[in-house]
């Protein structure tokens, strides 16, 4: 009897913004926040862990990557990583195994696990390059089943006054045009905005995952710290459903 695909449990940690050393980052113990997410009860029994960018606080601090890779040494499941705008692949590559995932200086790839396919794109420079978009469209069309997509930047505005006006993705129209043609992507998981939101984009839902570093008030047009509590996301993906929940500590 066909039992369907295994239900995959995916944990997403976004925007830890770890500093070069163990000192506080803007008054926040970001390393403790990262550990709170990573060690949370809700993150037990994962099949896959995703780190969706801004691992380093400002400028790809090597100490940030060495800290994270050290913590993840005992991680029993695969870890998929994409860079954010504060990361630099040439530094990350020294601490994480990105072999086969970096093409022309961009980290984008497909990861297959238990009969499911997941796509990862690189928006570190604020755009998703047309090379990546062509690759995504072509590669996703080879798969009949639904696939998931992870990007650091939301491919849409999110009704966040500060982030929308200052740090939104720069080629939203181009990215949305491609995405609208890819029917087997229904759920897109992102970070970057330091708040929680689900945004409907045609037939797709963009799930904005809050940061482990801190959350930013969406109602203010200037930077306004809303909370220094870490948050993270858990996704359960079965044959005919995607269930997801954000946890705040």
CB burial class (10 A; 0-12, 13-18, 19+) of residue 235? Answer: buried
- Among 84, 154, 155, 230, which residue sits at the site for Fe ion (rule: CB under 5 A)? 84
In the complex, the smallest distance separating the C-beta of residue 125 from Fe ion, rounded to whole angstroms, is 11
Q: Which is nearer to Fe ion, 9 or 152 (CB)?
A: 152
Q: Is residue 155 within the footprint of Fe ion (CB under 5 A)?
A: no
Question: In the complex, which residue's CB is closest to Fe ion?
Answer: 192
- Among 192, 194, 207, 233, which residue sits at the site for Fe ion (rule: CB under 5 A)? 192
Residue given tokens 């994270």 in the structure block: 68
One-character DSSP codes across the chain: ----PPPEEEEEE----B-SSSS-BTTB-HHHHHHHHHT-GGGTT-SEEEEES--BSSS--HHHHHHHHHHGGG--S-EEEE--TT--HHHHTTTS--TTTEETTEE-EEEEETTEEEEE---TTSS--HHHHHHHHHHHHT--S-EEEE-SS-SS--S-HHHHHHH--TTHHHHHHHHHH-TTEEEEEE-SSSS-EEEEETTEEEEEPPPSS-EE-TT-SS--EEE---EEEEEEE-SS-EEEEEEE-
Q: Which is nearer to Fe ion, 54 or 146 (CB)?
A: 54
In the complex, the smallest distance separating the C-beta of residue 238 from Fe ion, rounded to whole angstroms, is 30
Which listed range, 66-74, 82-90, 110-118, 234-242, lies at the site for Fe ion (CB under 5 A)? Answer: 82-90
Q: Which is nearer to Fe ion, 54 or 122 (CB)?
A: 54
In the complex, the smallest distance separating the C-beta of residue 153 from Fe ion, rounded to whole angstroms, is 7
Six token digits for residue 33: 């926040």
Q: Which is nearer to Fe ion, 69 or 213 (CB)?
A: 213
- Among 8, 12, 54, 109, which residue sits at the site for Fe ion (rule: CB under 5 A)? 54
Which listed range, 24-32, 35-43, 121-129, 189-197, lies at the site for Fe ion (CB under 5 A)? Answer: 189-197
In the complex, the smallest distance separating the C-beta of residue 54 from Fe ion, rounded to whole angstroms, is 4
- Among 85, 161, 171, 176, which residue sits at the site for Fe ion (rule: CB under 5 A)? 85
In the complex, the smallest distance separating the C-beta of residue 163 from Fe ion, rounded to whole angstroms, is 9
Contacts with Fe ion by CB under 5 A lie at 54, 84-85, 192
């Amino acid at each position: 009897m066909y039992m369907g695909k295994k239900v995959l449990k995916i944990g997403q940690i976004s925007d830890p913004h770890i500093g070069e050393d163990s000192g506080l980052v803007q008054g926040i113990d970001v390393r403790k926040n990262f550990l709170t997410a990573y060690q949370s009860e809700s993150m037990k029994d994962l099949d896959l862990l995703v780190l969706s960018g801004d691992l380093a606080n400002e400028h790809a601090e090597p100490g940030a990557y060495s800290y994270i890779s050290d913590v993840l040494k005992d991680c029993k499941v695969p870890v998929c990583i994409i860079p954010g705008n504060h990361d630099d692949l040439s530094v990350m590559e020294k601490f994480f195994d990105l072999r086969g995932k970096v093409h022309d200086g961009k980290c984008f790839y497909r990861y297959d696990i238990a009969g499911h396919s997941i796509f990862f794109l690189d928006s570190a420079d604020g755009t998703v390059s047309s090379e990546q978009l062509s690759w995504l469209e072509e590669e996703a069309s080879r798969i009949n089943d639904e696939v998931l997509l992870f990007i650091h930047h939301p491919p849409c505005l999110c009704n966040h006054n500060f982030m929308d006006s200052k740090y939104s993705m720069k080629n939203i129209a181009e990215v949305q045009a491609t995405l609208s043609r890819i029917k087997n992507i229904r759920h897109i998981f992102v970070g970057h905005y330091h708040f929680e939101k689900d945004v409907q984009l045609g037939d797709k839902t963009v799930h904005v995952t809050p940061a482990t570093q801190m959350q930013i008030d969406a109602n203010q047009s200037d930077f306004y710290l809303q909370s220094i509590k870490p948050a993270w996301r858990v996704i359960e993906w079965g044959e005919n459903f995607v269930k997801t929940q954000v946890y705040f500590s």
